[in-house]
Amino acid sequence: MSPGPAFVVSVRNSMTYSRSIGAFTALGLSFGVAAHVIFVLAGISIIIAQSVFLFSIIKYIGAAYLFYIGFKAILSSKKVNKNSDIHHRKGQDSIHLMSKRKAVLNGFLTNLLNPKAVIFFTAVYMQFIDPSTPMFMQIAYGSTSIIIEFLWFLGVAVVLTNQTVKSKFMNIIHFIERACGGLMIGLGIKLALTK
């Protein structure tokens, strides 16, 4: 729930595109968490967390991805705003500038390429899981994280695409798009400088 790349991409996709795109972004974010859960349960995250080289590779790929979607958001904001206004006047809930598949991929890569998630999930799961923990309990812990991620970001999408809320933001959607793009770039810089 804390602001970070996942929250920013969820807000951007929900506000700029539609509830449906926000929901598919939430699904992608939960798939990213699922990947981290699998990494932790398989022991891969411990190797990554203790290897400066592997951590650095993930860190720089993640930062590059945040730069990419941040610059893309800043450069496309006028075009998206124009289309958003047209569809808003027609009373339509969504614009189709991002496919559902792309929204899932966008969410998935945002969480997957966040090396801080590797550290976070490793630290949290090591408190509850050891070699003697039954597999069904490991699956239960992992499933809880995945379900919470999906429900939280689905909730964000539902709230932000409520007609009353969205209508108040339609005139400034290009500023929201640019702000989210700037935040992504800032988070990319912060990530790239992480030691």
Q: What is the pLDDT of residue 154?
A: 97
How far apart CA 10 and CA 16 sit, in angstroms, is 10
Q: What is the pLDDT of residue 28?
A: 97
Measured between alpha carbons, how far apart are the two ends of the chain, in Å?
Answer: 23
**46: CB partners within 8 A, 6+ apart:** 40, 122
What would the two tokens of residue 41 be?
């349960």
pLDDT tens, residue by residue, 62-80: 888 888 888 887 887 555 4
Q: What is the pLDDT of residue 78?
A: 54
Please give the C-alpha separations between residue 13 and each of 27, 74, 157, 172, in angstroms, as whole numbers.
Answer: 12, 13, 8, 15
Q: What is the pLDDT of residue 90?
A: 42
Q: How confident is the model at residue 54 (pLDDT cuts 50, 70, 90)?
A: confident
Q: What's the mean per-residue pLDDT of the chain?
A: 82
Residues recorded for the chain: 195
Angle subtended by helix axes 5-16 and 173-192, to nearest 10: 160
Q: What is the pLDDT of residue 22?
A: 95
The mean-pLDDT minimum among 23-37, 106-120, 123-137 falls in 123-137
Q: Are 140 and 60 in contact (CB under 8 A)?
A: no
Q: How confident is the model at residue 52 (pLDDT cuts 50, 70, 90)?
A: confident
How far apart CA 150 and CA 61 sit, in angstroms, is 24
What would the two tokens of residue 30 be?
């939960």
Q: How confident is the model at residue 35 (pLDDT cuts 50, 70, 90)?
A: very high
Q: Are 176 and 169 in contact (CB under 8 A)?
A: yes
pLDDT tens, residue by residue, 130-177: 778 888 888 898 899 999 999 999 999 999 888 887 777 777 777 777
Which one, of 194, 195, 193, 192, lies nearest residue 63 by Cα? 192
Is residue 105's pLDDT more than 90?
Answer: yes
